[in-house]
Structure 1
Amino acid sequence: MTSYTASVGGLATDVQLPKGQGRFPAVLIRTPYGRHSHRAELRGWARRGFAAVAQDVRGRYASPGEWRPYEGEAADGADTARWIRRQSWSDGRLVACGASYAAHCALALALEAAEDARPDAVIAAVPALGAADTAREPSGVERLWNRAGWWAAHGDRPDSDASALTNALATDPELLSHLPLIDLPGRLGRQLPSWRGLWHRRDRGGLMSRAAQGQMPLLAVGGHHDHFAEDTVELWRRWGGPSARLLMGPWGHGLVAAPGPDAQPEHRVRLGELYAEWARAALEGRLREGWAGALALGGSPLWVAPDAMGDAYVPRLRLLRGAAFTADPERPVSSAELAVPADDEADRCVLVTPPLPRPLDALGPAAVRLRATADTPSADWVARLVALSPEGQAERIGVGIVRRAEPPGTSAEFTIPLGRPARRLRAGTRLRLEIAGHHFPAHARNPHTGDDPITATRLIASRREVDRTGLELRLTVLRNRPTPINPVLEIPR
């Protein structure tokens, strides 16, 4: 194999070519995380007959310029795509590939670049679609932990320090509790001008709104435990190209390198081989049209089709405590702890189902519908669904959070989506549902004053009441025992 480094529009670019002479289809990975970290991946693509290209995005590592996250990637990607197609080793066919921010780069090239620069196929894994999409939930609630960690590690610097937030928390465990949150860079001892700009961005859905204009095959890859899982599924559903495939496993943001507690040995898919098989089928026009794919059913060895038929399931809930509770931002419910404290002062509403009489395959949308009251003008409502095994182990199944603004004391009926669980629940499992006012530090604390949580300097407690007669947990469960499929065969089909 032949490898070399080039400057493409001034951007540092590594090229790995297959053995032998000839023209090859190409794979392009544009990344802010250091192109050298993709050397093994490039060699893997080259062994399978692809010319593989990795590039540092503008302002990162060896590429000069100013690092402006989520800006300008379509233009730089287009210049690189045209350069690839002019090379003597290129047969003109191009796959844009990437995970997380690199998936943003791939999708920006596919959906925003001029027609002559667009790729012929796209692989988007755990896609971080845009600045506003990553910073906030669809309801507008701020994703604090994830964004603080990312900006501390990568923001406004040419390289990365993955341990930046961890080290800062070791020095000051209350780092994320200090107000206002907009001043976090000063507490990190860093100049982060883009941190303030991030929270001014509310333009969610830019790339997603263009998904229907996709003109090439898509492979969307995600993890059920990834914070961008919903975006991955929605991207697949909205894609307008001739073929869209979805691969979702019981993984976190690191995919097979970050298996969840419900992962089985059968879920350790060799993604590199699968990507190459799909890419070759996509470039050769062998993929059948339409939407298909494979979903792992956590807690079992099964993979099933994403269109597996399901029915609504509404379990009976018994109130344990907290129909009236206090959401105190000075003592917020922890996003990291699943234990429910036995304090006298209730900080959440807790309900539980009877033990399941038989196994249940939850696969599809879940939500909580409730009628509730807050005595403050702004209130976040968190629903967390936890599975309690017969042995007493707790495992989070789904979390949702919405922001409401009603006149204090007004009873309102609303729904909290819980994502799309994909989990086999054993017989004897009980489901615990918690309704709370905070989910910290995963999400910023609502100060309850109506002020922006990122700039707020004052917190007040919020008294809540949940109407237990109007509360409903709704799951989607498979109608029959699922028909197993093999993702290695299904995805490239």
Structure 2
Amino acid sequence: MLALALLLSTLAAGQSATSSPRSASMQEQLGVAIPMRDGVYLAADVFLPRRDGRWPTVLVRTPYNRKAPSVSSYLFFVNRGYAVLIEDVRGRYASKGNFGPASQEGPDGYDTINWIARQAWSNGRVAMAGSSYLGIANWWAAIEDNPHLAAISAMNSGDDEYLDRFYSTGGALQAAHRLRWLVQNLIPPPQVRPLFDTYIRHLPLRTADLAATGVILPRWRTAIDHPSYDQYWKSLSIREHLGSVNIPVQSFGGWFDNYAESDLDAFSQLSRGHGTIETWIGPSAHSSASKFPTRDFGSQAITGIRSKQADWFDRWLKKTPGSAPSGPPTSLLHIFVMGPNVWREEHEWPLLRTHYTPLYLTSSGHANSLSGDGELRWEPVWEKAEPDAFTYDPKDPAPTIGGALCCDAKLLPPGPLDQTPVELRQDVLVYTSAPLPENLEVTGPVRAVLYIATSVNDTDFTAKLVDVQRNGQPLLVTDGIQRLRYRLSLDKPVFVKRNTAYQISIDAGVTSYVFPAGHRIRIEVSSSNFPRFDRNLNSSRPNGDETKMTKARQTVFHEKGYPSAVILPLIFDKGRHSRSSTEPRLSGSGI
């Protein structure tokens, strides 16, 4: 009781001591204590329209401080006739309790929504909005199926902890993303944040939390304990629980955000399950206002997200005549097609009219670097084809330059950046097409099917899709990585035999991109993309516990029986081309 009294007095003091120039346009209730089912109190600020009434409410739950300047943008909804409640999640800033796994946001969100519905200023209808972790909190609350929650609008949230925030579709750890997030958010004050270079190369990875933050972090250690997609990760996965979402969902993502694939996965699952969902995927990184030094995607790239969210909430919370459809649930996907720089409406993902088309790798065995002889052909070339080889040394990994990155644009700039420094390396294979005779649209999941061998029992292979400009500048479109022990599945690692040919499939990301006539398509193949992904130390031990670095001799085959190719999801104008929309099955011998 004493602890509760101290909390309430502290919050009340904060309320009475706080003044704001916003008070002229809205009512404020600052430092409100909201009880959870286990007796823990969470801190929140409430903003109401100036005139008295019973209002629908937009709930925003954040681990990044409800007082942060960035949160003020949500007050936009007050002028659209909504109450807005901004809450520190459990264990963060003024809220009590322990900051645990994201799944705690389900019960806490449920209890907060119930509290809102009981207030005199509430009409009992609630929506949620938020970006990144704030968006995750939206999803977990939606899974709880609170009857007062009418709609959500999540931005750059993804739908899976393993695939989005810790590991990846190929099983490699997102080292820079996770360690940087830990440093930015979990270093105890007043400790000084260390320089990135002082901890990103730390081995073993298990103790990188100490190097980065000075303390042992259970969530990091547990993630290292679970490198496979096992029951631990499934219990934390929104994706595994999407069947419990029964309200209209709006979501926003970006082609250069590392959550884009999962944002689209959520759209696909809910639309196939006859849910109501509207998704927007633009030419941005983790921030919707992303600007890139190499490409300007035009004035249409910025979508006016708050206005779109308010329109979405009006449709489902205010239900003015004609605002909400009475027919069956609908799904609508808005994708930004880069190149022509236009928004286009679709209704499924991947697109049913996709023509999955292989573009084959070939060379005379010397595709190493930009000065090599690697080519891409629409038909396989077997004559004089020789396998390409390179040495991957974990002590000297290929550097990350651009791509779908989160969440520090100053440290690791995202987007379609110039890949020339990477292509000058001998441990990067470069394959380039002839200039395109006409524009070519690539919209959908990009996949590289490679026939490889390695001198070790486990290693990584990477693939990048690159647009070579008329002036020769190579700009990254999308990329991916595959850890060989997870080539068959993410839940059961299986090592490879040394110097034996295997077929692997690399998920190289998603995009909607038009290669202009005169440009060339390029594929880069290597074994590292650091520090975006952790370095595979080429060991049979768990990568998180290994400290010994072993060089690996890597081979990529592209001869008869081993048709290595990148599978492009091509979209043609109606009436043009008649390729099958079924993904080709590339089969070879010796797999």
TM-score by length of 2: 0.75
Confirm whether residue 269 of structure 1 aligns to residue 349 of structure 2.
no
Describe the shift of the 1:455–1:158 C-alpha distance in structure 2 as closer, same or farther (beyond 3 A): same
Matched length? 472
Confirm whether residue 249 of structure 1 aligns to residue 273 of structure 2.
no
**Counterpart residue number, 1:451:** 541
2:251 to 186, 207, 220: 220
Partner SS state of residue 435, structure 1:
strand
Partner SS state of residue 45, structure 2:
strand
Quick check: 2:29–2:46 contact (8 Å CA) kept in 1? yes
Describe the shift of the 1:265–1:70 C-alpha distance in structure 2 as closer, same or farther (beyond 3 A): same
User: What is the 5 A alignment of 1:24-423?
Assistant: 24-37=55-68, 39-111=71-143, 113=144, 115-116=145-146, 119-129=149-159, 131-133=161-163, 134-155=165-186, 157=188, 164=193, 168-169=195-196, 173=197, 175-188=199-212, 190-194=214-218, 195-201=220-226, 202=229, 203-205=232-234, 206-239=237-270, 240=273, 242-257=275-290, 261=295, 263-283=297-317, 284=319, 286-287=324-325, 289-307=329-347, 309-315=353-359, 317-319=361-363, 321-322=367-368, 323-336=388-401, 338-340=419-421, 346-404=426-484, 405-423=495-513
Describe the shift of the 1:393–1:226 C-alpha distance in structure 2 as closer, same or farther (beyond 3 A): same
Amino acid at match of 1:370: L
Quick check: 1:110–1:118 contact (8 Å CA) kept in 2? no
Write out per-residue CA displacement over residues 182-203 of structure 1, whole angstroms, 9 at most, x where no aligned residue: 2223323521423212323444
- Report the CA distance between 1:71 and its aligned residue: 4.3
Describe the shift of the 1:153–1:118 C-alpha distance in structure 2 as closer, same or farther (beyond 3 A): farther
Amino acid at match of 2:217: P
1:480 to 553, 573, 576: 573
Partner SS state of residue 109, structure 2:
helix
Write out per-residue CA displacement over residues 359-394 of structure 1, whole angstroms, 9 at most, x where no aligned residue: 112111211111111111001111111111102222
- Report the CA distance between 1:42 and its aligned residue: 3.3
Write out per-residue CA displacement over residues 3-54 of structure 1, whole angstroms, 9 at most, x where no aligned residue: 1121112111011112322211111111101112355223201001111111
Amino acid at match of 1:435: V
Looking at structure 2, the residues matched to 480 and 104 of structure 1 have their Cα atoms a distance apart, in angstroms, of 37
Quick check: 2:445–2:510 contact (8 Å CA) kept in 1? yes
Rg (Cα) greater in structure = 2
Looking at structure 2, the residues matched to 54 and 35 of structure 1 have their Cα atoms a distance apart, in angstroms, of 6
**Counterpart residue number, 2:33:** 7
Unaligned runs of 5+ in 2: 1-25, 36-40, 369-387, 402-417, 485-494, 576-591
Describe the shift of the 1:306–1:456 C-alpha distance in structure 2 as closer, same or farther (beyond 3 A): farther
Partner SS state of residue 354, structure 1:
coil
Looking at structure 1, the residues matched to 332 and 517 of structure 2 have their Cα atoms a distance apart, in angstroms, of 30
Write out per-residue CA displacement over residues 403-431 of structure 1, whole angstroms, 9 at most, x where no aligned residue: 11211112111211212211121111112
TM-score by length of 1: 0.90
Describe the shift of the 1:259–1:79 C-alpha distance in structure 2 as closer, same or farther (beyond 3 A): farther
Write out per-residue CA displacement over residues 98-144 of structure 1, whole angstroms, 9 at most, x where no aligned residue: 11111111111111x2x445621111111154543410112321111
Looking at structure 2, the residues matched to 44 and 82 of structure 1 have their Cα atoms a distance apart, in angstroms, of 23
Partner SS state of residue 211, structure 2:
helix
Partner SS state of residue 225, structure 2:
coil
Describe the shift of the 1:33–1:241 C-alpha distance in structure 2 as closer, same or farther (beyond 3 A): farther
Partner SS state of residue 94, structure 1:
strand
Describe the shift of the 1:359–1:116 C-alpha distance in structure 2 as closer, same or farther (beyond 3 A): closer
Partner SS state of residue 182, structure 1:
helix
Looking at structure 2, the residues matched to 231 and 158 of structure 1 have their Cα atoms a distance apart, in angstroms, of 34
Describe the shift of the 1:26–1:158 C-alpha distance in structure 2 as closer, same or farther (beyond 3 A): farther
Write out per-residue CA displacement over residues 261-288 of structure 1, whole angstroms, 9 at most, x where no aligned residue: 3522111111111110011113326156
Describe the shift of the 1:373–1:39 C-alpha distance in structure 2 as closer, same or farther (beyond 3 A): closer
**Counterpart residue number, 1:491:** none
Give the CA RMSD over aligned residues: 2.4
Q: Which runs of 4+ in 1 moved over 4 A?
A: 156-159, 257-260, 340-343
Unaligned runs of 5+ in 1: 483-493
Amino acid at match of 1:242: G
Partner SS state of residue 184, structure 2:
helix
